[in-house]
Amino acid sequence: MNAPITLPMLPTRGKPGVVLTFRLALRELRGGLRGFYVFIACIALGVAAIAAVGSFASGLAEGLAREGGVVLGGDVAFVLIQREASTAERAFLASRGALSTVATMRAMVRTADGRTALVEVKAIDRAYPLYGTVVTEPAADLAELLALRDGAFGVAADPALLTRLDLRPGARLTIGSAAIELRAALVGEPDKLAGGIGFGPRLLMSEDALRATGLLQPGSLVRWLYRLRLPTSSTAVQTIDAAKVQFPDAGWEIRSRNNAAPQLERNVERFSQYLTLVGLAALLVGGIGVANSAKHFLDRKRDVIATMKSIGATGSRVVAVYFVEVLMLASLGIIVGLAAGAALPFCVAAFFGTIIPLPFAPALYPGQLALALTYGALTAATFTLWPLGRAHDVPVSALFRDEVAPQRRLPPPRYIAAVAIIATAFAVTAVAAAVDRKIAIIFIVAAVMVFGILRGIASLVMVAASRVPRPRTTILRLAISNIFRPGALTPTVMMSLGLGLALLVTVLEIDTNLSRQFTAALPERAPSFYFVDIPSNAVDQFDAFVRQEAPRAKLERVPMLRGRIIGARGVPAEELKPKPEAAWVLQSDRGITYTSEIPAGSRLVVGNWWAPDYSGPPLVSFEKHIADGLGLTIGDEITVNVLGRNFSARIANLRTVDWNSLGINFVLVFSPAAFNGAPHTEIATVTYPGGGTTSEETALLKAVTDVFPGVTAVRVKDALDTVAGIVMNLVLAVRAASSITLVAAVMVLGGALAAGHQHRVYDAVILKTLGATRLQLMAAYALEYLLLGLVTIVFGVAAGSIAGWRIVVDLMTLPFRWQGGPAIVAAVIAVVITMIFGLMGTWPVLGRKPAAVLRNL
C-alpha cells in the first residue's frame, strides 16, 4: 500500500462558479441521450414548425417586396373606380414618368352557340406591361395579338376559359356588343397578384376593344389603374405627395411598389400567425413530454444528486448542473428544429417553386430563426425547471434508505417563481411577435386554461379513484389503484391525450363546419344570381324581363355605387385607428347604396331610420360592428369619395347585418338623395324559393346575357365554388400544421407510456412473484387505460367542440353546427389506438424474468 500523504489544507472558501457547473453538466451528458429522445423530438418539432412558418412567410414578404414593381405593374399605381382619370389628372401622371393604363371589370362572354361565362376582363394599353412580361401560348407580340383584325379584336384568355367553353385559338366570341377572337392562351400575367381573387378566368384585351364592347357605361363597375414607371424609384413619394396636393378630391387609391399587395401581405401575415400559433401549440404539447423526460431523468438521477450533495454540492448547484444539461439537450433539439425549419422554404422553392403563384424568396431569415430559438429555449426552461426544482431538496439520506416511491413535493419557491417568470416571458414573446395580439392573448389564456383544467381533472380522477370502494375483482382493483398510486401515469396521459384529442376535435369541427359552409346545400334563402352593372335607365326593362323568364323567382334590386371612406369626424381615413376586424373597410373601395327603407337582411339596433320622404342633408346607416371597430357612433360625420367627388353624411343609425343570407348587404346605406346626380348602375339578386335548379339557372343566365349583354351575371354556386377552393386549400394547410401538434401529442404519450413501463417493471415483477399471470396484468392495464381514455374522451370532445365553436363563430364569423358523431368517433378511435400501442409496449415488460429484477431491488 502507498505511503500516507499530506496535502496542504483546502482554501477556506472557494468560489467554484459557472465553469464548474458547465463542467459537471458536460460530464453528466456522457450518460447519453437515453430517456431524452422524446424531449429532443418535442423541442425539434415545435421549433421546426415555427421556424418553417416564419421563414416561409418572410420569404413571401421578401418576394413581394422585391417584386413589388412587377406585382403592382409599376412604381406607383393610381386606382379609380367607375371613372377614368380626367384630362388634367392624366396629364399630371404622364408628366411624372412612363404611364400605362389598365382597366378591369367583370363581364360575360358568349360563344357563337350561346354558352356564356363570367370573365375578369383586363384591358391594356400599348405601354403595358411596365414591368415583367406577358406569356402567351402560342407566344406572340402583344400589340399584334390584341389588334383588330377581320372585324374582331384579339384576346388572350386564361386556359381555364378555354377548357370551360371548349375553345381553341381562333374561336369567335362576343363580349358586350363587340366581337372578339381568341388568339392565345394567357399563361403568365406579371401583375396578376394585384388583382386579388377573381370569380372568373382572365380575359386580356386592348383598351380599344373594351371601349368597343359598350360595357363602359356611366356607373359601370370598372376599375381604372394608372401605373407609372418613374425615372428613379425615389421619386415615388414626391409623386404621391404631389398627386394628393394637386388633386385632393380625386378619390384615387394610391399604392407604391413598397405596398404593392397590402391585402395579400396582410393575409400572409395573418395566416402565418395562425400557423405559428399551431406551432406554439405543438411546443406546448411537447412541453409535457419535455417535463416528463426531465422528471424521469431526475428520478433516475436521484442517487447521483444525493451523492453530489453528500460531497458538498448545494441544492442550487445541483439544479444548475441539471438545468445546464437539459438546456444543452434542448439546444440539440433546437438546432435540429432550426435546420429543418430553415431548410423548408428552400425545399419548397426547389420542388414547388414553379407552381407557387407568388413571388417567393427563400433565404435564411435570422429574425425568424431567433424567434423559433427563443420559443424552443423558453419551452425547455418552463417545462424543466419545475421537476428540476425538486432536485434541490433531494435528501442525501436517500442513499441510506431505499425509497420505492419518493415523495413528490413542490419545488422551492424560487423555482416556482422562475417557472412563472419564464412562462410569462413565453407569453409576452408570443403576444409581442403576433400580428393580431388579441388572438395571441386568447391563445395563451386558452392554453393555460386547458393545462389547468386537464391537470385539475387528472387530480380529480386520482382522488375519485382513491375513494372508490375496493372492488372484489383483482383486475379492477389493480386497474383502479394504478390510476392513483404514486408515480401514476394519470396526469401525463390525461394531459397529452387530452390535449391531442381536444386538438383533433377542434380541427374536425372547423373542417366539417367550413366544408359544410361551402359544399353543402346553400341556405334556401340564398340567391341564385347577382346581376351587376344593370344600367339605371334599363332597370324597368330588366325587372320585367327577369319576372317573365323566372316567374317563380324573387327579384331584389338596389342602386349600387362604389365609394371609398376618406375620412370620419374630420380625421383622414389613413389616420383613423380601426380595430383589426374593421380595418378592411378602410382598405379599398366598398359597395354602397341608398334607399328609403331598411334593407332586407338588416336589423336596426341603434337610432331611427329616416322617413320615406326624407330629403334633408345626407344621412348614412352604418353596420354596427364596423362602426364600433372604427370608433364611430350616431351623429358622427363620414366622408366618402364616389366617382371623384366627396360626399359627407351624418350617421343616423346603426344596423346589424345577416351576412350569411348571401343577399345584397352593405356596410354603408345612404339616404335617398345623398348622391344626386352621380351616375350609377344597379345590382339585383334573383332567388328561387327553395333554391334554383341547374336548368332553371342556366336558362335564365343565357336569356339575360342574350338580351342584356352589358349586364354581368355572377352565379352564386360558381362563386362559392371558387371561394370554397381557396378556403379548402387553407383548411389543408391548417390540417397539415395541426398534424404537427398531433404528432407532438403522440410522441409525448408514447414517451409517457414508455417511461411508465419502467415504473411498472417493479409492480409486475412483485405481482408475478405473487402469482399474477401476464394476462391478468394486461387486463388490469387495459382497464386502466380504458378508464383514463373514457374520461379523456369526455374532456377532449368537450374542449375541442368549444374551441371549434368559438373559432368558427368568432374568428371565421360563420354559423356553427356541432358535429358530435364524427368528434366522438375520432376520439374513441384515438383512444383505442393509444390503448393498443400502450399494451403492445407493456407486453414485453411483463415478460421480464423476476429474478433479474429482484436481484437489483
Positions in the binding site for other proteins (CB under 8 A)? 1-5, 7, 9-16, 20, 23-24, 27-31, 303-304, 306-317, 393, 395-397, 399-401
Shortest spacing between CB 512 and other proteins, in angstroms? 52
Minimum distance from residue 409 beta carbon to other proteins (Å): 12
Cα separation of 410 and 412, whole Å? 6
Q: How far is the CB of 410 from other proteins (least distance, A)?
A: 16
**225 closest CA partner among 207, 198, 203:** 207
The nearer residue to other proteins, 401 or 470, going by C-beta atoms, is: 401
> In whole angstroms, how close is the CB of 52 to other proteins at the nearest point?
35
SS3 label, residue 467:
helix
CB-based contact 686:555 (threshold 8 Å): yes
Cell of 682: 344597379
Nearest distance in Å: CB 33, other proteins: 13
Q: Which is nearer to other proteins, 463 or 605 (CB)?
A: 463
21 CB burial (10 A radius; 0-12, 13-18, 19+): buried
How near is the Cβ of 413 to other proteins at its closest, in Å? 14
Tell the smallest beta-carbon distance from residue 289 to other proteins (Å).
23
Torsion sign over Cα 56, 59, 64, 67: negative
Minimum separation from the CB atom of position 320 to other proteins (A): 12
Q: Length of the chain, please?
A: 857
From start to end of 207-357, where are the E strands?
223-229, 253-256
Q: Minimum distance between the CB of residue 310 and other proteins, rounded to whole angstroms?
A: 5
The three cell numbers of residue 273 are 400567425
Q: Is the CB of 4 or the CB of 551 nearer to other proteins?
A: 4
Report the alpha-carbon distance of residue 761 to residue 857 in Å, rounded. 11
What is d(CA 654, CA 625) in angstroms, rounded to the nearest whole number?
9
Identify which of residues 351 and 400 has a Cβ nearer to other proteins in the complex.
400
Nearer to other proteins, 319 or 566 (CB): 319
Say how far apart CA 636 and CA 652 lie, in whole Å.
Answer: 9
Closest approach of other proteins to the CB of residue 467, in Å? 18
818/801 Cα distance (integer angstroms): 7
Closest distance to other proteins from the beta carbon of 44 (Å): 24
Cα–Cα–Cα angle for 557, 558, 560, nearest 5°? 130
| E strand intervals along 211-281 | 223-229, 253-256
- The residues facing 110 across adjacent strands are 116, 174
- d(CA 164, CA 188) in angstroms, rounded, equals 19
CB of 759 to other proteins, least distance (A): 20
Q: Phi and psi of 833, rounded to 5°? A: -60, -45
C-alpha cell at 811: 374568428
CB of 414 to other proteins, least distance (A): 12
Whichever of 19 and 521 has its CB closer to other proteins, that residue is 19
Q: 134 with 190: CB under 8 angstroms? A: yes
Three-state secondary structure string covering 684-750: EEEECCCCCCHHHHHHHHHHHHHHCCCCEEEEHHHHHHHHHHHHHHHHHHHHHHHHHHHHHHHHHHH
For other proteins, the closer CB: 260 or 306: 306
Task: Report in angstroms how near the CB of residue 285 gets to other proteins at its nearest.
Answer: 30
Smaller CB separation from other proteins, 304 or 720: 304
Shortest distance (Å) from residue 3 CB to other proteins: 8
Distance of alpha carbon 279 from alpha carbon 501, whole angstroms? 17
Least Cα distance to 383 among 515, 496, 537, 262 occurs for 496
For residues 2 and 234, which CB has a smaller minimum distance to other proteins in the complex? 2
Among 391, 431, 430, 369, residue whose Cα is nearest residue 49: 369
| Residue 443 cell numbers, joined | 391563445
CB closer to other proteins out of 17 and 551:
17
Whole-angstrom CA distances from 196 to 126, 202, 217, 264 are 23, 12, 24, 8
Q: Which is nearer to other proteins, 211 or 317 (CB)?
A: 317
The DSSP output letter for 73 is: T
- In terms of CB distance, is 24 or 212 closer to other proteins? 24
β-pairing verdict for 668-670 and 590-594: parallel
CB of 470 to other proteins, least distance (A): 19
- Those residues with Cβ within 8 angstroms of residue 595's Cβ, 6 or more apart along the chain or in another chain: 558, 559, 669, 672
Tell me whether residue 545 or residue 762 sits nearer to other proteins (CB atom).
762
Would you state the cell numbers that stand for residue 842, as one nine-digit string?
407493456
Which C-beta is closer to other proteins: that of 15 or that of 472? Answer: 15
Closest to other proteins by CB, 13 vs 470, is 13
Least separation in angstroms between residue 394's CB and other proteins is: 11
Choose between 9 and 770: whose C-beta lies nearer to other proteins. 9
Separation of alpha carbons 53 and 61, rounded Å: 12
Question: Which residue, 34 or 470, is less far from other proteins as judged by CB?
Answer: 34
Q: Which is nearer to other proteins, 487 or 601 (CB)?
A: 487
Residue position matching grid coordinates 366581337: 179
* Cβ pair 320, 414 in contact under 8 A: no
Give the nearest distance from C-beta 386 to other proteins in angstroms: 19
Q: Which three cell numbers stand for residue 522?
A: 346553400
Task: Please state, in angstroms and rounded to a whole number, the distance separating the CA atoms of residues 376 and 97.
Answer: 50
List, in order, residues 6 or more apart from 590 with CB less than 8 Å away: 562, 563, 564, 565, 666, 667, 668
For residues 492 and 752, the answer to whether their CB atoms sit within 8 Å is yes
Beta bridge partners of 202: 120
CA 93 → CA 78, 79, 744, distances in Å? Answer: 9, 12, 57
